[in-house]
Every structure is written in structure tokens, then in C-alpha cells.
Amino acid sequence: MNDALQAWRLDLGSDSFKHTLVFASSNHELPTVVYNGPLLPASTRLQDIAEHAIRPLPPGTLDQLAPLSLLPEEGQGFQGYCGLNVTSIDARPALTQFRIQQVDESVNSIVFHANDNATGLSVSLHFSFATDSNVLKTHTELHNTGSTRWRVDWLSVPVLTLDESFDTLQEYRGRWTQEFSPVVTDIRTGVHLRESRRARTGHDHFPAMIAGTAPLAWTHGAAAAMHFDYSDVHRTVLESLPDGRRQVQAGIAETRWLEPESSLHSGNAFWAFSQHGLNDLAFHYQQMVKDHIVKLPDPKAVRHVNYNCWEAIYFDHDIDRLKALATSAANVGAERFVLDDGWFGTNALPRDDDTSTLGDWFIDTNKYPEGLTPLVEHVNSLGMRFGIWFEPEMVNLNSQLAKHRPDWVLKHGDAKHIEGRQQFLLDLTNPSVVAYLFECIDAILSEHNIEYIKWDMNRDATRAVDAQGHRSLVRHSDAVHALMAKIRHAHPKVEIESCASGGGRIDYRVLKNTHRVWLSDSIDARVRWKMQSEAFLFLPPSVYGSHVGAEKVHTSARKQPMSFRAQVAMTGHMGIESDMDELDDADRKTLMRYIELYKTHRQWMHQGRQYRLDTVHKDNLTQQFVAPQKNQFLVFAGCIDIPVDETTAPLRLVGLDPDADYEVSLINKDDINPLATRIFPHPLIDKPFALMSGAQLMQQGIIPPFPMPDTLWVFYGTQRNRD
């Protein structure tokens, strides 16, 4: 037995899921993760686990394998991607050799405290989870107990290792209207790095990764996932070392200074693990977001059907037209009216396009002679709630604000600056700017019955430095979230939606201060169906907005049937984003039908479990909602392209009670096209419903009709007793 070897364990998870981490330290050095997998028996000798993790050394290598610790240190001889990069003002590296001083343990957490006497630096490495959560939260705190001022170029969250059998990495790329596009690659030797310094997540670098064994599947296989929450300026790293070990790091991608007697925080990583496919990862994350991240003003309230007027009016605000749109929206079942861009400005400088007026957050009395009150009261009289659009972080140079306070604009001197949508960022590191924005937003909310904000952010940061020339991304990000928190505190009944040109700012940090994300500016139902199938891994459907768009999509020029658009919208937080006057009677009736269906089922849909089903072909994307009591379910079986086979394969459901009987019906038989399904003598077609056991549904499955492209088959099942 090695007396210098110490070991600890942390058992993560609820009753239905258990996962064990074992940490080991030799000679009080920073611990390494020596086991990361399914629950170990309570009787397991942790020192045995640690000793059996020791690896042999072949010729031609150093005499000791440098520790891949929770914060890999160059000072310990680690030659890979180090977890800490710190130098002094005169460029001397802090070659730390941290030693553990204290370990704080509880049922739900473990914290390792260590210091380095030579530098005066100390670290705290935190691992924790909520009692009813299966998600592990980790972060690092770096403390300066000495008198040296240190430059910190990199501080990672505590490093976790990946199983060396994992050979596949899935991440996400994208652009405007193409968010959450999965990228699957082999895990290869070397460093795989993703980074964003946009003052928002960006459409291209959602800060998350999933690792597992190919092919990654929804219903089977081992996998691990990590999401980093400091998305405005982030870096994620996966490194496969030459010796085969793998590490994952994440942190803030901006240099910071660590003053004497001060501390820095790495940001938070959220880890989920599964032995049963990607669905379990999704369930772990979704429950954690619902229970511990998003805090709704009324947790018992349903997710109201939104109507957003943007694509009906753009900047052409006319109060009679808006009232008519609100009336039409209410008549089809909308429950909230959101007034988008264009309501603010002055008579001299109205907001008639996107080239001017951002920053002048005052009601345009030319467009609204009596203010917003008549419109708000009309919306409320229809039984609907009222919401409004802001883009607080931005300013047009052609605005009263920029003309009176040019020093508030992040545009310094005569240096070349790249504009985005003819706008610039305000310097939120200046407390006066934040105070002005709060005063404007607070006044609008205080003077009207407004209970919803669409918070937009339509450009990336460039040359992100403050008025003194110091880097400002971290401080800007902190100021944005502090402003959101202050507005929430002042108006606790107001919900906030995070929108950044669609899905440009989505992460768990922004969801701490908001209640909904606008997944994408694309309302092409085909694109949305694919996108939501991926976002579902990290976000519950109750949190991402999913709207019914126009028949002809402005971002793709495709035409799509109302049934398909409405069915896709049902699977998220449902809304409408189109001109109500363009609806004919048939489309209006179809829309009303699916809004009513959403209202009937939304409560249990958002409280229960959601699954994706493994299908034969990649273009057949299927989602299943199961109620918490397993007494009812909805299946949305989508086809987004022309099927390659001559007939359809069964959909094998999951998550049901195998011993229960379910009355199953195809809700949208009227969508069967005889040009696609010519003959189908099936109980689901010939009868009002079919009686099937849970075991039959999961083992034999449901045979759907043959589809046309852009089709969703919607199946509903409810438990009943056999006569």
C-alpha cells in the first residue's frame, strides 16, 4: 500500500441514475481523475482504484508520466495543454506545483483547496450537484495571496478525462438561420480547440461537446457531454495525448489580471453522463435547466402561445393595423402579443429602418400619439399579455444618444471599425451607460402592463476594448448579466427572452436571467425540425421558442403546408411569426386546431420526458413526449426529404409502461396524400384508434403512412383498461 496515495469519491445522481468519480493524489499533489463511470459499490477500496490506474513506461520516455491532474501544470512537467497559464508583469511564468491543503466533502460536493508557496497562488477546484439532479457542475477559483500582480491568459475549469474507448466527438457549427448544425468527427491525437470572442455565443460555436463511441445513438451507447456557461467569450479544448489519455478543458478566452488579495473564476462547466444513449444526456440537462437554471415568475404557469408582429409589419408601425393583428392572433388562440423593433425614437429621428435610432429608448409619439397605452389596453382586453422588444447593448451612430454621448460608443478615435447592421456596441463597462439603460427600460415597464421582454443582440463585438484601451469582453459580459438581473429584480413578473440574431446567445448563464431563447431567426419548419432535434440535447422544449411562420419562408423561399409548420411549432414553446392577414380560411382552421392541441397537452409535455427515436434514415427525425406518469404520449414522426425505401419502417417507441395498454390514434389522418400512400389497410387508418400494449409499441413499433417531404405524423396514445 502506498501511504502517500490518497483517494476520494463523489457519487453523482438521483435514484434512477448513479455515476462515480474517483480522485487520487500522490504526495499531496493536485488530484487526478482515476475513475469516471457507472456507480461503484460502496465497498470499493478507492486506493485500489488509484493503484490500478498506474500505467507502464516504455523506453524513450521520461521516467515519470506527468500527472494529468484537475489542473495540469507546466511546473509538474506536463507537456500537453496546461490548465493554467500565468505570467508576471516581466513575463516570468508561474511554474506552479500546487499541494493540497484541505478537502471539503459532502454528499453532493467535493472541493480541493491547494496552494503554491513559491508564487503565492492558490486554487479551489469545485465539483457539485443538486440533490435531485444528474448534472455535475464544476468550476475553478484562482486566488492570489501574495504581492505579485499576475497576468492570467488561461484558467480552465477542473479537468475531466474521457474514456479512451470514446472515438467520436460531436459539436455544433452554424450561421444565422442555420444554428445547431451537428459536426461529428473522430477523436484524434492532438488538441481540438473551439473559441468565440463575440460578446455572445455566436451562431458558430455553441459551447458544448459530446463524446462517445461511434455511431452516437439516441437510445443506446455510452456518452459524456460538457456545456460551458460563460459563452460570451469562451474556449473549449479536447486533447488526446500521445500516451492515449484524453482531457477536456473549458474557460474564458480573454486575458485577465489577478491583483494581490483577489480571485478569478473560471466559469462553470456542466457535465452529463449516460450509458443508454443521447436521450439520457438530454433528460439530465433538461431536468437541471427546468429545476435549477430557469426561474419562471410563476413556476406553475403554462407556456403561453406568443404572437410576434415582426414579419407582419417590420418597421411600418400603425396602431390600427397592430390592433387588428392582435385581434386576429387572439382569435386563433394566441395568448401573448409581442411588439417588435420600431416602436421607439423621436419625431426628428424615427426608427423606420435599421440604420438609426438604436439607443433612443423612448416611445415614438409620431407612431404612437397617445403612447403605447391604447395598444397595450387593446391587447389586454383580448385576454392577451403584452411583450416588447429591446436591444439594450446596441447603438446607431445616427441616434440622439450617440450624438450626445459619443464617448459611450465602443468606437475609439479614427481607427477602422467594422459595423454590423449599421450599429455599434455601447460601452457597458461604463456604469453611466448601464444606469441609462436601466432607467429607460424600467420606465417603459413601470408605465405599462408589460410582462415580457424580447432582449435582442444583433452584432458581434470587434475591437472589444474600453475607453482606456483595456480588453473589455469579460467586463461587458458581466455588466450585461448584471443589468438583466437588476431588471428582473425590479420587475419580477416580467419574462425575458434571449434573442441574438436568433440563436447567437444561448447558454446556461444567460438562462439564469432569462426564461426563453429564440433558437433561430429561421422559421423554415424543415430547418427548425432538424435544429430542435439537436438543441433538445441541452434545452427543454419549454424553453426554446418555436413559431409558425409564413407559407413562403423568407430565409429559404420554400413553401410549406400549415399543418407541418404548426406541428413543428407544437414541439417547442409555441408561437406565431407571420402576417395574420395572409391566412386563408383553411390555414386559419388548421392553425387553430394545432394551437388547441398544444394547449391541451402542453402542461404534461413540458413536465414529462422527451425522447428522440433512432430511425433507419437520417432524414426521418422523430420526437416522442411521454407524460410523467407514463399514461399518455405524443409522437411527432418527421420526414424532411423524399424517402429512399419503397415503404416505411416501424417506429419503436421508448419510455412507456410495458405492461400498460394504450389507445393509439393518428391525429392527422387528413394529411395522408394518396400520391404517396396509395394502399394502407392498417388499424391506425381504418379505425378511430388501435389498442396496443407498451411492450408492443416499444418492441414492434408503429408503422406510419408513406410521407411526402415536409410531413409530420402525429400519434397520440393514452392508457386505458382492456374490456
Quick one: angle between helices 562-570 and 585-607, nearest 10?
20
The confidence score (pLDDT) of residue 723 equals 63
The confidence score (pLDDT) of residue 2 equals 57
Cα of 25 vs its chain's centroid, Å: 35
The confidence score (pLDDT) of residue 631 equals 97
Q: Catalytic: 186?
A: no
Summarize pLDDT for 650-698 with one digit per residue, the tens: 999 999 999 999 999 999 999 999 999 999 999 999 899 999 999 999 9
Q: Which one from 229, 341, 364, 521 is the annotated catalytic residue?
A: 521
May I ask the CATH architecture of the domain 5-54+69-293? Distorted Sandwich (2.70)
* Selection from 199, 674, 216 nearest residue 479 by Cα: 199
Distance CA 289, CA 130 (A): 12
What lies within 8 Å, CB to CB, of 481 at 6+ separation is: 509, 510, 512, 513
> Across the chain, what does the average pLDDT equal?
95
Q: CA dist 686 to 161, 666, 689, Å? A: 54, 11, 8
Task: Provide the b/e sequence for 677-702 (b: ≥16 CB within 10 Å).
Answer: beebeeebeeeebbebbbebbbeeeb
The sign one gets for the Cα dihedral 490, 492, 493, 494 is positive
Residue 1 pLDDT > 60: no
What are the start and end residues of each CATH 3.20.20.70 domain in the chain?
Answer: 306-607
What are the start and end residues of each CATH 2.70.98.60 domain in the chain?
Answer: 5-54+69-293
Span 18-25, average pLDDT:
97
The confidence score (pLDDT) of residue 499 equals 96
Residue 628 pLDDT > 90: yes
Residue 251 pLDDT > 60: yes
Dihedral angle, C-alpha 376, 381, 383, 386, nearest 10 °: 0
Helix (H, G, I), strand (E, B) or coil at 718: strand
Q: Indicate the pairing of strand 246-252 with strand 394-395.
A: unpaired
Q: How confident is the model at residue 641 (pLDDT cuts 50, 70, 90)?
A: confident
* Selection from 623, 647, 662 nearest residue 703 by Cα: 647
The single-letter DSSP state of residue 324 is H
Give percent of the chain with pLDDT exceeding 90. Answer: 89
Look up the CATH superfamily of 611-719: Golgi alpha-mannosidase II (2.60.40.1180)
Distance CA 386, CA 220 (A): 44
Q: Report long-range pairs for 407-414 (Cβ below 8 Å, ≥24 apart).
A: 407/467, 408/432, 408/433, 408/436, 410/461, 410/463, 410/464, 410/465, 410/466, 410/472, 412/463, 412/465, 412/467, 412/469
Half-sphere exposure at residue 703, Cβ-oriented, CA atoms within 13 angstroms: 11
* Fold (CATH) for 306-607: TIM Barrel (3.20.20)
The sign one gets for the Cα dihedral 371, 372, 373, 377 is positive
Summarize pLDDT for 325-351 with one digit per residue, the tens: 999 999 999 999 999 999 999 988 999
The residue whose grid cell reads 409499441 is 697
What are the start and end residues of each CATH 2.60.40.1180 domain in the chain?
Answer: 611-719
Q: Catalytic: 456?
A: yes
Q: How confident is the model at residue 3 (pLDDT cuts 50, 70, 90)?
A: low
Q: Which one from 340, 341, 427, 456 is the annotated catalytic residue?
A: 456
The confidence score (pLDDT) of residue 101 equals 97
Taken as a whole, the chain contains a residue count of 723
Q: Which stretch of DSSP H or E encloses residue 142?
A: strand 136-144
What lies within 8 Å, CB to CB, of 30 at 6+ separation is: 67, 69, 70, 71, 73, 76, 98, 100, 112, 114, 123, 125
The confidence score (pLDDT) of residue 175 equals 95
Summarize pLDDT for 477-533 with one digit per residue, the tens: 999 999 999 999 999 999 999 999 999 999 999 999 999 999 999 999 999 999 999
The confidence score (pLDDT) of residue 417 equals 83
Q: Indicate the pairing of strand 223-228 with strand 181-186.
A: unpaired
Distance CA 713, CA 591 (A): 16
Give percent of the chain with pLDDT exceeding 70. Answer: 99
Does this model's pTM top 0.85? My answer is yes
Summarize pLDDT for 415-455 with one digit per residue, the tens: 888 888 899 999 999 999 999 999 999 999 999 999 999 99
